[in-house]
Amino acid sequence: MKKRFAMILTMTFVLALTGCSGAASDAEDQSSGVQEEPSDSGDSGSSGEESSDAQIQSYGTLVEVDGGRMNVLVVGEGDTSIVWMPGFSDIAPGLSYTKILEELSPRYKVYVAEPFGYGLSDVTDKPRTMENITSEIHEAVRKLGADNYVLVAHSLSGIYAMEYVNDYRDEIIAYVGLDTSTPNMRDEISMDVELGEMTDVVIPEVSDEINRQYQLIAEKVSMNANWIDENERMTENFEKSKEYSLPEDLPVAFFLAQDGVDDWAMMPVENNDWVKMHQDLIPEGAYSQILVMDGGHMLYQTNYKEVAEALDRFLAEMP
C-alpha cells in the first residue's frame, strides 16, 4: 500500500479546515491555575516589523496542566455542555471550528481543548501517550467547570476517547464520534507516513484575518516535538486503545463521511467496511446511532449544519 494512499484512507492525518477567534486578556488566577486569556505571543519591540509570533492574536483560556499551559476555547451558554477532542495535526483547534461552533453555541456550551503542541498551548516534554493526552485534556476542561457533558471526538481522537469514556464515565452524558479512527483499523493498513510542514492550509468560509492567524500559528507549531512524538507513538496508542470497550450504558453516535465509506470499500483488505468498524464498537442494546453524511473527513467544515442538527436529534431522542 502506498504511503500517501494509506494516509488518506486512515482519516488520521488530514488537517481540520474551519476557524474561530476571540479577544485577549492577561488576567491570571494563580489559585485556580487558570489564565483568563493567553497574552499575545512574542514581543513586538519598539521598532521594525512585528515578528510572526507577535502578530498572533489570543483566544481562549490558558489553564495550568501538569507544569504547562493548555489553551481551551469555551463558547456558548447552553445548558448542555460539549467537550471536543480534536484530531491529529489539527494546527489550531480553537481556530478550526468556527462554523460548527456558530451552529452549536446558541444551544450548547462547547469546550474546545487544544492539546499540548497545538494552537496556543505549550509544547510539553511529557510523552504523547494516550494516557497523558486524555488526562491532560480532562484536567483542563474540569478546571474550567466542565463536569457533565457530551464528549465529541474527531479523527484520531476516536482512539483516545476509548480511554477517556472509561476513565471519566460518570461525567459523560453521551459520546459522539465524528469520522473517528477505530482501534482495529491499524491492523488493516500501514500508517507509517512522514509528516510534513503544514503551513499552506486555507480555511473556507472564514475571514481573511482568521486565515492569516491560522497561517501564523501553523508556522509556529507545525512539526513541533509533540506532533512528532504523537506520530511515532501511534502504533502504541492504537494497541492501547484495544484494551477498552465502550460502556454498555453510554449513548453513542457516529457521524461518518461517505468519502470514507467509499474509500475503505476499495481497500484490498478483509475488513473494508467503515460503517461496520464503528458498529462493532457499540455494545449490544446500547442507545446508538450511525449516520453517514455525504462529505469528506472534515464534516464539521463541509456539513456543519447537518452535524449540528444530527447532534440535536440524537440528544433529544436519548432515553
Q: What is the pLDDT of residue 26?
A: 33
Q: What is the pLDDT of residue 59?
A: 95
Q: What is the pLDDT of residue 271?
A: 85
Extract the residue ranges of the chain whose pLDDT is less than 70: 1-49, 188-199
Q: Residue 256 pairs with which residues in a beta bridge?
A: 292
Q: What is the pLDDT of residue 43?
A: 44
Predicted model pTM: 0.85
Q: What is the pLDDT of residue 35?
A: 63
C-alpha closest to that of 134 among 166, 109, 93, 110: 166
Give 212-227 pLDDT, tens digit per residue: 999 999 999 988 999 9
Q: What is the pLDDT of residue 236?
A: 95
Give 260-283 pLDDT, tens digit per residue: 999 999 988 888 999 999 999 999
Strands laid side by side in the 252-257 sheet: 28-29, 34-35, 61-65, 68-75, 108-114, 80-85, 149-154, 172-178, 252-257, 288-293
